[in-house]
Amino acid sequence: MKTKFLSALASLRGDASRLFVVNSLTAMSYSLIMPIMSYFLIKHLQAPPSYIGIYTIATALSGILLSQFLGGLLDRGKSGLPLFTISMTAALLAGIAFANVTNFWQALVVGVVLMGCASASFPLMLAMIRSYADSSGKNSVALNSQMRSGVSLVWIIGPTIAFTAVDWFGFSANFYLSAMLCLLVIVMAWTCLPKATTVQKSASTEQPKVPLSLELWLLGAVMLVGNLANTLYLTALPLYLTEELALPVSLPGMLMGLTAGLEIPIMLLVPRWAGRFGHYRMFTLGFGFALLFYIGMQFAESPLQLFALQALNAIYFGIFAGLGISLIQDAATARLGFASAFYTNAMRSGMMAGTALAGLLAQYWGFKHAMLGSIAAALVALALMAAVAWLRRSSNCTDCETSVEAVGSPAQ
């Protein structure tokens, strides 16, 4: 396993390595803002706790709409790099604006207008990565997994830097640091990224739009419920461990850090496993590990048991995050901009639903039983993947019948 892991890292050379750096720095700029936002709203702006929900929902909805809009422009032949620059410029301006806001409503406007546009940078980058993989003949699943592993690594480091910067220098310094990173990303994008990242204008821009398949919608639902399960668990975990089990406050962070560290090699190895066992089988198997993990969390009470269970969690999320975007893009190859935004927005919707559901379930049944929602979500995901498998088998059978009829027709 170690040899395969190292070879996956070593394959990042030339244009791929530059894509990896730009993608990781983009994630880093966000990891300096997103984790501290609720703390910033309450501590610095003195906003009531309920306002966190208002901010989160408003910015998420704005991000969904703007991501789909910019993704649509990409599919209609607009160059990806200028669109990516627009979104990163919005992120830069958001960092500067957050450093100077004095009340919640100013922050809300910045979040809706600027952060909503900035969030489109992720699907745009995903579409450009896929375009580069297709044009250069690289394995798109492997490349997507490698890029996603960089994001996971950044999210181990970024929040620590953010909270340390806030503690030592204040909120403004941290937001300016994020803005500087955004500027660096813009410069690197224009000077370092390969031209192949520009999504080529396809025939679909001149012909009627390619219809979206039922498979794509089912996979989008899988992404939503899969991230719902993960978000519900992450939201309930800290309070379950500290309030109900009376374990150390530091333990949730240690568990999350361990999972993030373990899932990186899993992501890099997933393309090999998927190539051997099949992408859809591998993805479905990931939810089997999720089910085992969430069930195990209902019985684990000691730190040792909790640490051991994180291996299952890492396998699940490594497969989920490493393969998900590739399956979505494969289901809509003629509309990469839409598919990439659709994936990001499905994940974002799952995060919103998971956060809201965690609070609702915990209010009536406690934080431990709130995680039963994760078990239910994993079961729904498995049912949806079964539907996808049935749909693919039906489609293949239809294609086979059509092929047989076509071959037999001259003799009739």
pLDDT of residue 203: 43
> What's the pLDDT tens digit per position in 376-393?
999 999 999 999 999 888
pLDDT of 407 higher than 60: no
pLDDT of 406 higher than 60: no
Task: Decide which of 373 and 208 is more confident.
Answer: 373
Same domain, 254 and 339: yes
Question: Does residue 361 lie in a domain region?
Answer: yes
How far is the C-alpha of 85 from the C-alpha of 118, rounded, in Å? 9
Instruction: Count CB neighbours of 24 within 10 A.
Output: 20
Q: At what angle do helices 303-330 and 140-169 cross, to 10 degrees?
A: 130
How far is the C-alpha of 76 from the C-alpha of 202, rounded, in Å? 8
- At residue 182 the predicted structure's pLDDT band, cuts being 50, 70 and 90, is very high
Helix (H, G, I), strand (E, B) or coil at 169: helix
Least confident range from 53-57, 76-80, 126-130, 307-311: namely 76-80
Please name the amino acid found at residue 364: Y
Question: Does residue 5 lie in a domain region?
Answer: no
- Percent over 70 (pLDDT), the chain: 88
Same domain, 196 and 218: no
Same domain, 187 and 86: yes
Q: What six digits make up the tokens of 211?
A: 């219809």
How far is the C-alpha of 21 from the C-alpha of 27, rounded, in Å? 10
pLDDT of residue 135: 76
Asked whether 310 and 255 are in contact (CB, 8 A), the reply is yes
pLDDT of residue 236: 83
Question: What residue spans of 240-371 are helical by DSSP H?
Answer: 251-277, 279-297, 303-330, 336-370
Asked whether 293 and 309 are in contact (CB, 8 A), the reply is yes
Find the mean pLDDT for residues 105-126: 91
Q: What six digits make up the tokens of 177?
A: 């640091």
Q: What six digits make up the tokens of 403?
A: 């092929």
Least confident range from 180-184, 266-270, 309-313: namely 266-270
Question: Does residue 378 lie in a domain region?
Answer: yes
Our measurement of the distance from residue 189's CA atom to the centroid of its chain's CA atoms, rounded to an integer in Å, reads 21
* Domain stop point among 173, 200, 227: 200
- At residue 130 the predicted structure's pLDDT band, cuts being 50, 70 and 90, is confident
Same domain, 296 and 362: yes
How far is the C-alpha of 36 from the C-alpha of 165, rounded, in Å? 11
pLDDT of residue 298: 92
203 exposure class (CB count in 10 Å sphere: 0-12, 13-18, 19+): exposed
Name the residue with tokens 């703390």: 39
Same domain, 195 and 217: no
pLDDT of residue 398: 52
Same domain, 142 and 52: yes
Domain of 97: which CATH number? 1.20.1250.20
Same domain, 266 and 298: yes
Q: At what angle do helices 50-75 and 80-98 cross, to 10 degrees?
A: 160
How far is the C-alpha of 326 from the C-alpha of 334, rounded, in Å? 14
pLDDT of residue 14: 65
- Percent over 90 (pLDDT), the chain: 30
How far is the C-alpha of 118 from the C-alpha of 84, rounded, in Å? 9
pLDDT of residue 194: 63
Q: How many residues does the chain have?
A: 412
Least confident range from 155-164, 205-214, 285-294, 326-335: namely 205-214
pLDDT of residue 274: 85
pLDDT of residue 208: 45
- At residue 145 the predicted structure's pLDDT band, cuts being 50, 70 and 90, is confident
Question: Does residue 310 lie in a domain region?
Answer: yes
Name the residue with tokens 């208002």: 54
Q: How many domains does the chain have?
A: 2
> What's the pLDDT tens digit per position in 34-83?
877 877 888 889 888 778 778 888 888 898 898 888 888 877 777 778 88
Task: Decide which of 77 and 271 is more confident.
Answer: 271
* Domain stop point among 200, 230, 255: 200
Question: Does residue 10 lie in a domain region?
Answer: no
pLDDT of 306 higher than 90: yes
Task: Decide which of 323 and 362 is more confident.
Answer: 323
How far is the C-alpha of 98 from the C-alpha of 410, rounded, in Å? 71
Asked whether 380 and 256 are in contact (CB, 8 A), the reply is no
Please name the amino acid found at residue 166: V
Same domain, 268 and 168: no
Least confident range from 10-19, 43-52, 106-115: namely 10-19
Asked whether 147 and 96 are in contact (CB, 8 A), the reply is no
How far is the C-alpha of 358 from the C-alpha of 351, rounded, in Å? 11
Q: What is the mean pLDDT of the chain?
A: 82
Question: What residue spans of 170-194 are helical by DSSP H?
Answer: 171-192
pLDDT of 329 higher than 60: yes
> What's the pLDDT tens digit per position in 190-248?
887 765 455 555 444 444 466 678 899 999 999 999 999 998 898 888 878 887 888 88
Q: Residue 160: which residues within 8 A CB-CB, separation 6 or more?
A: none
Question: Does residue 92 lie in a domain region?
Answer: yes
- Domain carrying residue 378: 212-400
pLDDT of 102 higher than 60: yes
Same domain, 394 and 373: yes
Question: Considering only CA atoms, which of 280, 300, 45, 320 is closest in space to residue 172?
Answer: 45
pLDDT of residue 200: 52
Find the mean pLDDT for residues 80-109: 93
How far is the C-alpha of 175 from the C-alpha of 33, rounded, in Å? 7
Same domain, 167 and 49: yes
Find the mean pLDDT for residues 364-368: 82
Q: Residue 11: which residues within 8 A CB-CB, separation 6 or more?
A: 142, 146
Question: Does residue 2 lie in a domain region?
Answer: no
Question: Does residue 67 lie in a domain region?
Answer: yes
How far is the C-alpha of 117 from the C-alpha of 88, rounded, in Å? 8
Same domain, 182 and 250: no
Same domain, 129 and 96: yes
- At residue 307 the predicted structure's pLDDT band, cuts being 50, 70 and 90, is very high
> What's the pLDDT tens digit per position in 336-357?
778 888 888 899 889 888 877 8
* Domain stop point among 180, 200, 220: 200
